[in-house]
Chains A and B, each alone.
Chain A
Amino acid sequence: MSEGPPRFAFNIRKLPREPVPETVAPPRLGEPKPVVGPARDDDSSALPEAEIGARFSNTGAVLAYLSGMSADGIPPDAVVRRIPDGNWWVESGATLDGAFDLIVAAAGRAYRRRGDEWFAVRPDGMPLRARAGRDVVEPRHWESVDLAVVVSYAPLMGSRYIGSRELNVVLPAELGQWLLRRALSIGLRAWLTTVTRHPLHGGDASKALLVRLESDVQAIPATFVHAVCGLPYCVACGPRQTGQGTLLLDVRHRLPFPARLLTGAIPLNETWVLGLADSGSWRVSASGAEIDGASLLELPELPVIPVPPSSGTGRLPETIQIRIIDHPSSESVDAILLDDFELEAARTLLMSRPIGEVAFFIPGDERHLLRAPGGLGSAIPFGIPLVRIGPGPLFIELGKALFPPMPEAARRARFAVEDDSVVAIAGGAAYRFSTDRLTPAWTLWVGEAPVIREGLSPKVAAILNRVGEDTRRREIEAANGRQAETSWKGRKSKPADLVAAAEKEERRGHLFKAAELLEAAGYPARAARLFERAARESR
C-alpha cells in the first residue's frame, strides 16, 4: 500500500461510462425479487464503472447519500450491499467533486477502488493510511440488495399530520366497514380498491383494501386521521406522490429527502406504502377496479345494492344501513307536515296570521305539507317541523339527520327527488307530494264567494237607452282602456304571483332567484333568509 502522493502505485482517472451489466443492477424493482442473492465472485470484473464506494451505518444515511448524488433521482447504476457486520455499502460511478463531501455529510466513510479492493480515502480524495479490516475492503462478497429493501429498513423521520384533503389507507378487509362508516359520517368521499400487498423487504403476499378518502373543501379532520392511525394493521398515508410509480407515506412521518427522488425509482404501476415497524412497508398492486364508497350505501326500504364485481379476491365491506338519527340543530323551519286533524287547526291559525298570505299547502294521503318561501319560522306551533336538506325539495324532520350522511347525489337518487314532487322524511317514513296539487293556503279557509249579480235592472236599461248609442260606445271604450292600463300595472307587481314564483324557484333550489322575487313582492325578511341561505349553500 502506498502512502502519500509520490508513492502512488496507481493513477486516478475517470473511467468511461458503460452500461451496467444486468447482473449487477439491483434497483430493478419491478420484478418480484426483493432480495438479490449474494453477488457472485465474477461480479467485480463486470464493474468497471463504479469507482466511489461508501460505507454507512444505517439505511437512512444510504438513502440520503443516494438521493443527494443526483438532482434527477436515485442513480440507476448504484449498487447497495449489506455488510455482514450490519453496515451498508454503496458503490457507484459517481465522479462528481462533491461526492466525498456528501459521504462525510451523511456520516459515512468514502472509498476508492483499486482492482478488487477499495481503499478508504479522505474527503479530498487522498488515501488514508491502510489498516487491516476497515480501510481496505472487498465488497464483492457482500450480498447486494434491492432498493426496496433499503427503503423498507430506512428510518422515517417523525412529523405530524399537517392537514390534507386526501388520505390513503391500506387496511385489512375486516376493518373496511368501520372506516367507510366513519369516513362517510364526516362527509368524506371514499374509493375502494382491493389490492395484493408484499412486504417491501420480501415475504408472503396478502390481500388488503386500499381506501382513498377525499374531502372537497377542507382538510380531513386530524381526530379522524389519528383514529385511523390507531387501528391495528392499518397504514394511513397522505396524498399519493407519483413519479414513475406511486409512493404513499405514513401520515405521521416524512422522508429525509424529496419524495420525487424515490418515486422515480419505483416501477411503473406499482405503489409503495411506507409505514412504521408495526404496520410494515408494502409493495401494493391493485387486484380489482376502484369503486365508489357511496355505492355501498343502502336505504332500509330498498333492495341491497349489488356490489360491483371485482377481479380480486379481497373482500369488500358489507353495505351500510342508512338510519335516521337524532341530530340537534337550530335551523329554522322550512315546512311542516300535518295530519288531517292538525290541518283543521292550522286552517284556523293561518286565517289570523300574516303567514297565511304567503304559505302554500300540498294535500296528500292523510299527511299534508305546508310551506312558505323563505321558511315558516315558528308560525305554526304543531305538526312535524321540517328543514330542507336538499337537493331540491327534500325535507327532513327538524332535529333528525341521516346517518351516515349521504352525499347529495346519493340523496337525489335514493329518494327520487324530482322537480315536480316534494319529499319529506319524518317519523321514520318518507312522504312524496306532487306539486301539481300545490295550492295557496288561503284556499283552506276562504269559501265560495257570494253570488255576484250581473246584468241591468229594467229601470236602468231604460235610462241608458235614452243616452245616444255613439256616446255610450265612446265612454265604454275609454273605460276599457283605463281598465287595461290598470290591470297591466297590477300584473307587474302582483305580490301573489311573485310569491308563487318564489315558491317554485325555492323548491327547485334556485334560492337567489326566489329571494329576489320575494324582495320584489315586499317580503324583505323572507328574502333576507333566502339570500343568507343561498350564500351559505354556495360556499
Chain B
Amino acid sequence: MLLKRASVCYERAGLFEEAIRVSLEIGDDLRAAAGQEHLGLMAEAAQSYAHAASKASEDRRGYVWREAARCYGTAQMFEPQAEALLRSGDALGAAWVRAHFAHLYQGARALLTTLSIDNASTAIASEVVHARCEAGTGLHGQASRRLNRVLGSIGVLMMDASYPRTLEWTIAVSEVLGRYDLGATAHSIAAARHLPEAIENWQRAAKRIVGTAAGVPARPNSAIKVGGDPGHE
C-alpha cells in the first residue's frame, strides 16, 4: 500500500525509473509496463506485460497479451511477439508474425493447420499467410497465383475488423514477391474502400518503389475496378 503510493508519487514527479522499480517490487507489473513503455524500454515493457498477463483475470488476459505483443513487435522480438499473440487468442496474427517477421515458415504453417476457419475473412487471411510462407520458401509462382486468387475475392469481402490488416499483409507479400502489380491492386482496393490513409500509403509505396507517385490517384476513386486494373506503379 505504502509502496503503491510511493510509485504513484514517483510518476507524478516524473521519476519513472524509480516508479518502475517500486512497481516491480510490489508486483504491479501493469503499472511498471506502462512506465517502461513511456521510457521507450519496449523489451522490458513487453516482459512486464507478459508477467502481468499471466496474473491477470480471465477477461483481461487477452488484452494484456495483445499489449505485450505490441511491445515485443516494437522491440523487434518477433518470436515472443508471435507467442504473445497466440496467447491473446490471435493465432492468425501469430502465424503472420512468424512467417513475415521471424521467417519461421514451418511454425507459421503449423499454426495455420490448427486454425479453425469459420468465415470468409479468416479463410482469405490464412491464404495470405500461406502465400507469405510460399514466398519465403522459394515457391514464388505458387505464391503469386494464390495472391491473385486472394485479390479476386477480397474485393467482394464484407468489411470487418480484420479487413485492413489482411490488405496490409497482401501488400507486404506482393512486395516480397516483387509483384508490384498485385500490390497496386491491393492499394487500389484499400482506396476504393476508403480505408484510412490508403491513398497516402499507396503514394508512399510508389515513391519507394518507382521513385515517383505520379499516376497514383490523389483522392479515392470509386470508379477503380476492384480486382482488375494492375495499377500504375
Contacts and interface: CB of A to CB of B under 8 A. Distances in A.
Interface of A: 512, 515, 519, 523-525, 527-529, 531-532, 534-535, 538
A512 B5 CA distance: 10
B13 interface: yes
B9 A538 contact: no
| 5 nearest A-B residue pairs (beta carbon) | A528-B9, A525-B13, A531-B6, A535-B2, A524-B12
Nearest to B2: A535
A357 to B, nearest CB: 15
B2 A524 contact: no
Interface of B: 2-3, 5-10, 12-15, 18-19, 22
B18 A528 contact: yes
Candidate in A524, A528, A529 with the most chain B CB atoms within 10 angstroms: A528
A528 B2 contact: no
A532 B13 CA distance: 14
5 contacts: A524-B10, A528-B8, A528-B18, A532-B3, A535-B2
B15 to A, nearest CB: 6
Nearest to B7: A528
Nearest to A527: B9
Contacts of A534: 2
A385 B9 CA distance: 25
Q: How would you classify the secondary structure of chain B's contact residues: helix, strand, loop or mixed?
A: helix
A515 B5 CA distance: 10
A515 B3 CA distance: 12
A525 B14 CA distance: 8
Contacts of B10: 524-525, 528
Nearest to A531: B6
Contacts of A515: 5-6, 9
Given A525-B15, A528-B15, A532-B22, A519 B3 contact: no
A528 B3 CA distance: 8
Contacts of A519: 5, 9
Given A524-B9, A532-B2, 11 more contacts: A515-B9, A519-B9, A524-B10, A525-B9, A527-B5, A528-B12, A528-B18, A531-B2, A532-B3, A532-B22, A535-B3
A280 B94 CA distance: 69
Nearest to A512: B2
Contacts of B6: 515, 527-529, 531-532, 535
Of A515, A527, A534, most B-chain CB atoms within 10 Å: A527
Nearest to B21: A532
Contacts of A524: 9-10, 12-13
Contacts of A538: 2
B8 to A, nearest CB: 8
B13 to A, nearest CB: 3
Q: Which of A515, A531, A538 has the most CB of B within 10 A?
A: A531
Interface centre among A512, A523, A525 (most CB of B within 10 A): A525
Nearest to A523: B13
A523 B2 CA distance: 16
Nearest to B6: A531
B15 A531 contact: no
B19 to A, nearest CB: 8
Nearest to B26: A535
A354 to B, nearest CB: 12
